[in-house]
Amino acid sequence: MKIAVLGVGTAGIMSLCHSLKWLCPEGSTITSIYDPSVPILGIGETSQPNFVKTMSEGTGFNFLTDANELDATIKLGASYKNWRENNFDMALESPSYGMHFNNFKLKEFCFNRFKKLWGNKFQTVEGKITNLVNNKSHVEVVVNNRIYQYDYIIDCRGYPPDLTDYTVLDDFTVNHCLVHIVDKPGTWNSSINQATAHGWMFGIPLSTRQGWGYLYNDKLTTRDEAVAEMESLFGIPNIKLNEFVFKSYYANTFFDGRILKNGNRAFFFEPIEGMAGFFYDTSLRYFTDFLNGQLNADVLNEHLLKSAQDIENFIYFLYQGGSTFDSKFWNVTKEKSARQLRNKSNGSRWRLVLLNIKKALQHPELRIDASQTGRWSPELWIKWSKNLGYTYFEDKQ
């Protein structure tokens, strides 16, 4: 079997790790195809435990011995500031850890390891990808005018050039990010999620620097207002910023014929809780089940749609209770999020997830899978609900 992974951002690397470990028996190859002149987006630097696991499977990564190569720090959870009167921490599923890492260093680290561990099973093709053709028996990839054939493609080329075949969430929470880098090591072991007057700000500690990302909605807040708040938060006039504008969306079809979309090619939501890594991992697992004949393409797409919806719903769940700020952003977003959780499409999935969580709480012996309880375990849902002052599981809180 020949599989190619397009792109070398975080999702591309995770896809390569997973494929080399699980989808590459003797005689098979996994090829990374990428254009060295295309920079990675390089904004997601926080992860869930599955990232640590996948990295370990593909590269032998171990936090204790390899963290330095990625400027990595351990992540035990997220610290929520200004979301409620009392700040609170949300630990990851105990006892597991994620990490913060410098994703500009990820590709080099992993490629060195891939070559060392997997030898000829790992191959690379560099160049500009101009076309992808989905055939019945194979996929053709055109790179620098040369045609390559593969059995399957995992497409992690980042933002889609057009969103015709995607569901775009025009009305989502935030759509703009201003990133400020502080050239000092971050010494804390959680991702900071700090609510602000116009949205929220992440704080990511790396062993060599800190990344702070101010997220807002440019339909509700002007850039000047956002920059002003950021300057006042950091006490720095004329603050140095990188800017990212993004849409929130997910693919209408994740797996089509022989091409699986992953990473930002599959979906993009805002970065709260680094939930995207959940999806990347889920998508690779279901894809593996598909290749092993355990599910068909329709079921694979159905599962992935549910996963995307679960992440979307979780974001609404967080926002619907607002924050300590009584501002335009929070008033609009609170109301919008609560409405989304009641609408027909998201609402029915949300209600099913709630039922499954309650069932799992009543019958722990059933060991209901996290894919049915919206990714978090029932214990963590109780904790979210309690910390956010909700009453979903009041009898258990």
Partner 1 sequence: MRIAVVGVGTAGIMSLCHLLNYAPQGSKVVSIFEPTIPILGIGESSTFTFPKLLFKGTGFNLPEDGAELDSTIKLSVTYKNWRENSFESFIEPIDGYAMHFNNFRMKEFAFDRFKEIWGSRFEELTGTVVDIKNNGAYASVYLTNSEEKFDIVIDCRGYPTDYSDYVIAEDMPVNHCLVNMIPEPGLWPSTVHQATKNGWMFGIPLKTRQGWGYLYNDNITTREDAVADIAEIFNTTVDKLTLREFAFKNYYAKTFFDGRILKNGNRALFFEPLEALSSHFYELAVRSMFDYFLGDANMNTPEKVNQHLTTVAGNLENFYHYVYHGGSIYNTPFWQITKEKSSKKLKNNKLWKETVAEISSCITDKGLINRPVASWMTSKWLDWERKFGYSIFKKPHPSLYLKD
Among 9, 12, 44, 77, binds partner 1 (CB under 8 A): 77
Query: 148-174: b or e for each residue (b if 16 or more CB lie within 10 Å)?
Result: bebebbbbbbbebeeeeebeebeebbb
Scanning residues 2 to 31, which ones bind partner 1 (CB under 8 A)? 25-26
Distance CA 336, CA 315 (A): 12
What is the DSSP code string of 291-319? HTTSS-HHHHHHHHHHHHHHHHHHHHHHH
191 or 313: CB nearest partner 1: 191
Q: Does 118 bind partner 1 (CB under 8 A)?
A: yes
Exposure string over 292-305, b if 16+ CB within 10 A, otherwise e:
eeebeeeebbebbb
Q: Which of residues 26 and 183 has its CB atom nearest to partner 1 in the complex?
A: 26
The only residue of 76, 201, 230, 304 in contact with partner 1, by rule CB under 8 A: 76
Least distance between partner 1 and beta carbon 56 (Å): 4
Shortest spacing between CB 34 and partner 1, in angstroms: 24
119 binds partner 1 (CB under 8 A): yes
Stretch that binds partner 1, among 46-54, 268-276, 314-322, 325-333 (CB under 8 A): 46-54
- Of the candidate residues 15, 46, 50, 327, the single one contacting partner 1 (CB under 8 A): 50
Name which of 21, 12, 23, 6 is nearest 291 in CA terms. Answer: 23
Beta strands 2-6; 152-155: pairing state: parallel
For position 185 contacting partner 1 by CB under 8 A, the verdict is no
Locus of tokens 């039922």: 355
100 vs 383, beta carbon nearer partner 1: 383
Closest contact distance (angstroms) between CB of 220 and partner 1 is 33
In sequence order, the 6+-apart residues with CB closer than 8 A to the CB of 224 are none
Of residues 56, 82, 288, 371, which one binds partner 1 by CB under 8 A? Answer: 56
Binder of partner 1 out of 189, 288, 324, 346 (CB under 8 A): 189
Cβ-based neighbours of 358, under 8 Å, separated by 6 or more? 393
Distance in angstroms (rounded) separating the CA atoms of residues 9 and 168: 22
Choosing from 37, 68, 86, 95, the residue that interacts with partner 1 (CB under 8 A) is 95
**Distance of closest approach, residue 351 Cβ to partner 1, in angstroms:** 23
Q: Which is nearer to partner 1, 364 or 389 (CB)?
A: 364
Q: Which of residues 351-390 bind partner 1 (CB under 8 A)?
A: 362, 364-365, 379, 383
Inter-residue contact 297 to 325 (CB < 8 Å):
no
Contacts of 238 (CB under 8 A, 6+ apart): 231
Q: How far is the CB of 131 from partner 1 (least distance, A)?
A: 34
Q: Which is nearer to partner 1, 206 or 382 (CB)?
A: 382
Residues 6+ apart with CB under 8 A from 123: 29, 30, 31, 32
The end-to-end CA distance of the chain, in Å, is: 50
For partner 1, the closer CB: 50 or 307: 50
Distance of CA 79 to the CA centre of its chain: 18
> How many residues interact with partner 1 (rule CB under 8 A)?
34
Residue 164 CA to residue 173 CA, distance in Å, equals: 21
Give the bridge partners for 213, in sequence order. 179, 202
53 binds partner 1 (CB under 8 A): yes
Q: Which of 34, 80, 97, 212 binds partner 1 (CB under 8 A)?
A: 97
Residue from 37, 39, 65, 391 in contact with partner 1 (CB under 8 A): 65
Give the interface with partner 1 as residue ranges (CB under 8 A): 25-26, 49-50, 52-53, 56, 60, 62-65, 74, 76-77, 89, 91-92, 94-98, 116-119, 189-190, 362, 364-365, 379, 383
